[in-house]
Structure 1
Amino acid sequence: MSDKPNEFGITHLRHVDLAVPDYATQRAFYTDTWGLREVGSDGDLSYLAAEGSPEQYVIRLRRAADKRLDLIAFGAVDRAAVDALAQRLGGAGVPLVTEPGDLATAGGGYGFRFFDIDGRTVEISADVEVRTHRKVEEGESIPVRISHAVVNSTDIARTRSFYERHLGFRLSDTLHKDDMGDLMHFMRCNDRHHSLAIAHGPHTSVHHVSFEMRGIDEYLRGTGRVMRAGIKKVWGPGRHLAGNNTFSYFLDPSGNTMEYTTELERLDEDAWHPHIYDVDDPLTQDQWGTADPMSELIAKESFNDVDRGVFVAPPV
């Protein structure tokens, strides 16, 4: 990967793993409608890749009785960084789910898992086999790569502090509302504006997962294709101020919010200073003015269901 590692050797977001009760419906959505490609399956697991990404997969689906987030996976520069980070976390009292070792999932590699401060499972890995991929061509309205993941937390200051202290993430920008306080922290582990964001919500859950498209035309074509398929659109199309990226949000069949985006800002680490953006300013939410104004109803769509996987390690 071209992303420069942060101070603890973390390079980028690899994949987000979801457990779903409507497994067959979800597989069909992500392959037939969303534009990912199933590159492997193993019993009740489906590995879904983005055509332009060297990652083995960007979404993993697992058939389960309960909907939950299984884990969020980040890459590390090498095995030494994996070992050092596991030792650092363990020494700080962070609960390790697994010790560093060979991974049994698609692409192999070397990694470990732990619970973050909110109880979600996080995986750090290195030496994962690179997948043969290709350039996404002009007009192809399919995801090039996974862009970022956003999670809900009841205490976003605490969650932000955890990722800063233990994983070396840095704050890029904050969304704020005078009568509610900070609503979202955008966090980076490389020069992309955010690989992770932490949103204020009523419970721990997935807020949304975002996928990078080739360009504006492909982003709009993809948005239109998903709309024509009858998938519920939550918000968009528009362009955010924080990150300067485009957005179109949809609900997958399990009620997880998924986003198409493009042109996420890449930052000059030496010159960047975090901004605090007022969400009551219409330009903060949508510079173009093409999306519906943000409302409580729109916001609630991304609160998602209470995550049943909090402090419960996934079985695989």
Structure 2
Amino acid sequence: MTERLVSHLRYAALAVPNFDEETEFFKKHWGLTELERTEDLAYLVAEGSPEPYILRLRRAEKRIDLVAFGTKDRGDLHKLADKLHAEGVQFVHEPRELSQPGGGYGFRVFDGDGRVLEFSTEVELRQSRKIREREPIPVKLSHVVFNSADLNTSAQWYIDHLDFAISDSLVTPDGRELMHFLRTNPHHHSIAIAQGPHHSLHHVSFEMRGIEEWMRGTGKILRSGTRMIWGPGRHNVGDNTFAYFLSPAGNTIEYTTELAVLDEDTWHPSRMDVSDLDTQDQWGTAAEMSELVARESFNDIDKGLFVAPPV
């Protein structure tokens, strides 16, 4: 079994100019619970997750503030920090006690493209609950996907420095890579990186309890008047369901469920042709992927690269 210093995905932090509207959307329609809120910051909880929060929103110019991961303990966290220092990775701050909800101990770095990553341990976990049958709210944060103007270089940074592994890739008919799905534990992917015209957020994905809850959640969001970009369907890569929507801030967000869990000792990555309709959607219920659909997830250029957020 592969041993890694990064154990799992914790939360995503986004800055949005329409902070009040975006926060209300995630509470009223998307199904997250407000943990704590100030004039310019909101920490949002998934009822099924023990993480202190899974989404942080900040009032500011649109950008990815950071994506946070966990380590098993303080020993692994210091091993990771030492490794990244030795490899010349740029630090935002050194390991220290953290002051955000849930506390903990951690550090932040810039990835190869300039996105901020946080690694933490000893976080005070919250009392989560079992999501009820047919309850259409997220259980947890599933994964985060980035766009990159240089896909392979961006993905290789995570492989070289954080020991992420490619689970599968999407390619064009002539073999050109379009997307890599990267794991840090047996779940098929915690992050993915897509080839795009610039560095930006592709989408943030939220795990539902099961197919019934995923479908009911999808219907709930449709009835709220939120625009669906693509879905509902079921991907081949990762074997997970998908329903993509556009949040009020123009970020793509996804309800998903049943993401594959791999036997890492026997798994071999596949290169799946995006022109094969079964690659896009096994069920055939979603519209065929098109440039129009893809363009929505290119998103706005991330203006926060190599600029640490103030919190």
Normalised-by-shorter TM-score class: over 0.9
Structure 1: which 4+ aligned runs deviate by more than 3 Å?
none
* Aligned partner (choices 151, 154, 159) of residue 156 of structure 1: 151
**Aligned residues: percent identity?**
57
3-state SS in 2 of match to 1:51: coil
Segment of structure 1 superposing worse, 75-84 or 284-293: 75-84
Pair 1:114 & 2:109 matched: yes
Q: CA deviation at 1:43?
A: 3.8
Q: CA deviation at 1:7?
A: 3.2
The corresponding residue for 1:16 is 12
Amino acid at match of 1:212: E
Q: Deviations over 1:180-203 (max 9, x none)?
A: 711100000000000010100111
In 2: Cα distance, 1:246 partner to 1:38 partner: 26
Q: CA deviation at 1:41?
A: 1.5
3-state SS in 1 of match to 2:279: helix
Structure 2 residue runs of 5 or longer lacking an equivalent are none
Q: CA deviation at 1:156?
A: 1.2
Pair 1:59 & 2:43 matched: no
* Aligned partner (choices 127, 137, 140) of residue 142 of structure 1: 137
* Aligned partner (choices 268, 272, 277) of residue 272 of structure 2: 277
Q: CA deviation at 1:255?
A: 0.6
Kept in 2, the 8 Å contact 1:19–1:69? The answer is: yes
The corresponding residue for 1:29 is 25
* Aligned partner (choices 199, 208, 211) of residue 203 of structure 2: 208
Q: Deviations over 1:255-277 (max 9, x none)?
A: 11000000000000111000000
Q: Deviations over 1:97-135 (max 9, x none)?
A: 000011111100000000000100000110111011100
Kept in 1, the 8 Å contact 2:9–2:143? The answer is: yes
The corresponding residue for 1:166 is 161
After TM superposition, the structure 1 = structure 2 runs for residues 248-263 of structure 1, keeping only pairs within 5 Å, are 248-263=243-258
3-state SS in 2 of match to 1:243: helix
CA pair 17-253 structure 1, distance change in 2 beyond 3 A:
same
* Aligned partner (choices 74, 81, 88) of residue 86 of structure 1: 81
Segment of structure 1 superposing worse, 35-44 or 70-79: 35-44
* Aligned partner (choices 46, 49, 52) of residue 50 of structure 1: 46
In 1: Cα distance, 2:39 partner to 2:69 partner: 24
CA pair 308-279 structure 1, distance change in 2 beyond 3 A:
same
Q: CA deviation at 1:178?
A: 2.7
Pair 1:176 & 2:182 matched: no
Q: CA deviation at 1:179?
A: 4.7
In 1: Cα distance, 2:81 partner to 2:296 partner: 35
The corresponding residue for 1:265 is 260
Segment of structure 1 superposing worse, 29-38 or 180-189: 180-189
Amino acid at match of 1:96: F
Kept in 2, the 8 Å contact 1:151–1:199? The answer is: yes
Structure 1 residue runs of 5 or longer lacking an equivalent are none
